[in-house]
Amino acid sequence: MANVTLKNLTKTYAGQITAVDNLSLAIADGEFLVLVGPSGCGKSTALKMIAGLEPITAGEVLIADEVVNEYASRDRDIAMVFQSYALYPHMSVFDNIAFSLQIARVPKAEITRRVAEVARILQLEDYLRRKPGNLSGGQRQRVAMGRAIIRQPSVFLMDEPLSNLDAKLRVQMRSEIAQIQRRVKVTTIYVTHDQVEAMTMGDRVALMKDGVLQQVDTPDNIYNRPANTFVASFIGSPSMNLYRASLERDESNCTLVLGGNRLAIPASIFVDRAELAAKIGDEVIVGLRPEDLEDATLVPGHPADQRLKATVILNESLGSDHMVHFPIDAPLAKVSDQDSLDEIVVAEGAKGVCIGRFGARSLVKAGQPIEVAVACDRLHFFDAATGLAI
């Protein structure tokens, strides 16, 4: 096992297209780090540079504190799991898993022992004589992982390994991969565009956009304290509602002016965000997560000055909860020039629809006027000019 360090890692293609821009990361020995971001953000390119499959324009890759820029991929003591499984269709599961050991002329008894151990970890004991064509997608992915595990590498690199699976199988496999990684305790760098995978699997999450690292932190911190509006909009499903607003203060209270709405801001907000006090009287970007908005009839006693009045335009019932769409007469904040699966880009200053995640007991219907209870102690604030968190 080994730590991995990236120092100012950069990749520039012909035509001065920068795919990865000055990426610096330190991945601890045994850590599971997830690189996430929209398509084209540079995450797979970064992984290929770590693997030695892509030439490095500038910067360094260190594995176990040793610079490996000039090492061939086979000499970096890494194992890679691909999106396409890359199994040999004419070989049995046993031979697919054992292939690297057979090439290295490891004694047959040792190969048999190690394949049996890996098959036990991956629950493949009953499939060792089958060919890949007779396996399900999830079983094939486990075989691909077995081929990586058996080499006992210092580092696992995984490039969107679950993207070919259906939704139900992806949920099962991401749990299995996380458990396997914790069992074998090998440093793992996992690339995905799926923020749910990132949040549920990684010890830490590194979010990229346009080749630039936006934030690296634990899943809880990256969700609760996003570094900027891009992180805030990318992490969370549905994504955070972002609006331009302003802060006002009278003798004793602070108020958020959100279009035609006014919300009382609790003093605790200023304790956690000391810099926010300097923004009173100025424009800010405020973020409201859907799960911090609730049907006020389900929150008896919620303060009247921490509610929004609106009219429902759509209620998407999911059984466990409701995604309720309603307009807020306030300008939306533009957060990116690049579309992603989890982000809708809007014109600066446009008015838009807010989404709240209401509880299963909510009975609201389209066309109905409602009051929305806002968890004002959980509001997020960003600088109106830079988009950086306050």
What letter represents residue 271's amino acid? V
Query: What's the pLDDT score for residue 228?
Result: 96
Q: Is the peptide bond before 238 cis (omega within 30 degrees of 0)?
A: yes
Over range 346-370, report the average pLDDT: 84
Which pTM value belongs to this model?
0.88
pLDDT exceeds cutoff 70 at 337 = no
Query: What's the pLDDT score for residue 46?
Result: 97
Over range 87-114, report the average pLDDT: 94
DSSP 323-382: EEEEEEEEEBPP--SS-BTTB----TT-EEEEEEEEETT----TT-EEEEEE-GGG-EEE
Query: What's the pLDDT score for residue 165?
Result: 80
pLDDT exceeds cutoff 90 at 253 = no
CA 228 to chain CA centroid, nearest Å? 15
**Residue 210 to residue 41: CA distance in whole angstroms:** 5
> Which one is predicted more confidently, 253 or 242?
242
Query: What's the pLDDT score for residue 340?
Result: 38
**Residue 42 to residue 36: CA distance in whole angstroms:** 9
Residue 341: pLDDT band by 50, 70, 90 thresholds? very low
Query: What's the pLDDT score for residue 151?
Result: 87
CA 78 to chain CA centroid, nearest Å? 23
pLDDT exceeds cutoff 80 at 195 = yes
**Residue 294 to residue 358: CA distance in whole angstroms:** 5
**Which domains can be identified in the chain, with CATH numbers?**
4-233 (3.40.50.300), 234-383 (2.40.50.140)
Which residues sit opposite 191 in a β-bridge?
35, 159
Helix axes 137-149, 167-184, angle to 10 degrees: 20
Place of tokens 């000499």: 75
Q: What is the pLDDT of residues 45-54, one digit of tens each?
A: 999 999 999 9
Closest CA to 325 of 293, 360, 285, 286: 293
Closest CA to 56 of 76, 35, 78, 71: 71
Residue 170: pLDDT band by 50, 70, 90 thresholds? confident
Phi first, then psi, for residue 260 (nearest 5°) are: -90, 10
Q: What is the pLDDT of residues 262-311, one digit of tens each?
A: 999 998 888 888 899 999 999 999 999 999 999 999 999 999 999 999 99
Over range 157-169, report the average pLDDT: 85
Over range 176-203, report the average pLDDT: 92
Rounded to the nearest integer, the mean pLDDT of the chain is: 91
Q: How many CA atoms lie within 13 A of 33 on its CB side?
A: 25
Query: What's the pLDDT score for residue 83?
Result: 79
**Residue 256 to residue 307: CA distance in whole angstroms:** 12
